Amino acid sequence: MNNKRALAIGILFLVCGLLPLHGRQKFSLKQDVHVARDEVQDNVISLGGNVDIEGRVKQSVVAFGGTVTVSGEVGESVVGIGSAVVLKPTAVVRRDVVILGGSLTKEPGCTINGDTIYLKASEIGPKLFREGVFKGLFAFPLLPIILIIKLISVFLWFLVALAVAAIFPKQMTFAASQVRKSFWPTVGTGVLALIIFGGLVIFSALLCLILIGIPILFALVWAGLIIKIFGRVVLFYFFGESLLRALGSQRTTPIGAVVLGLLLVSFISFIPFLGFMFTFCLSIIGWGIVIRTKFGTTENWLRRR
């Protein structure tokens, strides 16, 4: 590859694109994953654990941290974010190997049919801008910093969205279905909820003057954060699933739809002013759908019994 660094800005989106829209994923959080010699998995996604591939993975291996050892076959790509990736002599990777940070060890005899993109930790970040990847693209020195912050934000949302989609898939998909079914009531609920929440925050902040408001304010902050996270992931799924449906896709998984929705929402949020207004509207809808469905557990929590 002639210019690996030029691909650095797309690595996060490449990681997202590697996740499948159908099939099963072997997902682990801080636990080791072992695909035995006679075992076949569709995908392997690991957060903080070690991955050992002796058998066959039909599509991709995506790891955040830990060690990835491949002695078998990976049908598509191996992606490591801060991971130590080791390709044994018998390893076969049908597409690309992408390493962002961490280390890469390719033992003689291993096969990589696609490209190898390996960026060491020292090559990530400001150095990319100094060495000309973005040279001439931005006229003001502050813009690259803003872009980096936004990319980090997208990456963190990616991790959170994966966790929510993996742990609460039924609640997430049910809540998303109610967005389309009861859009305007959801918007109204969201506006009212944000007004009430803002009033409670101001009131508890005033109570902090006599100490009693400190635990109340702390609880409100945590409640608001949880509602925002779940509501935003629900909307990631809503947009991703809607786009896939428009493209004629018949089979999707919660993780695949969430990742696609995250890409779409992130792209729009990068647009000045329009992105801010779009994100603000998402907050209203997100709060509304979480409260109206009680975190995806009921159709209308506010309905009179």
Other C-beta atoms closer than 10 Å to the C-beta of 281 total 13
Distance CA 72, CA 41 (A): 12
- Cβ atoms of 74 and 55 closer than 8 Å: no
Q: pLDDT for 183-220, tens place per residue? A: 999 999 999 999 999 999 888 888 877 777 788 888 88
Provide the residue count of the chain: 305
The mean pLDDT value for 91-119 works out to 85
- Tell which residue, 130, 156, 273, has the closest CA to residue 225: 156
Q: Which position has the higher pLDDT, 48 or 72? A: 72
Span of 36-45, 62-71, 74-83, 225-234 with lowest mean pLDDT: 74-83
Angle at 90 between CA 85 and CA 95, to 5 degrees: 60
Predicted confidence at residue 165, as pLDDT, reads: 83
Q: Which residues in 75-169 belong to E strands, given as ranges? A: 78-81, 84-87, 92-93, 97-100, 103-106, 111-112, 116-119
Q: Which position has the higher pLDDT, 68 or 125? A: 68
Span of 31-40, 87-96, 136-145, 244-253 with lowest mean pLDDT: 136-145
Predicted confidence at residue 239, as pLDDT, reads: 92
Predicted confidence at residue 4, as pLDDT, reads: 41
Residue 60, CA distances (Å) to 24, 75, 107, 130 in order: 11, 7, 20, 32
Angle at 105 between CA 102 and CA 110, to 5 degrees: 140
- Cβ atoms of 107 and 41 closer than 8 Å: no
Q: pLDDT for 255-284, tens place per residue? A: 888 888 998 898 888 887 888 899 999 999
Distance CA 65, CA 302 (A): 43
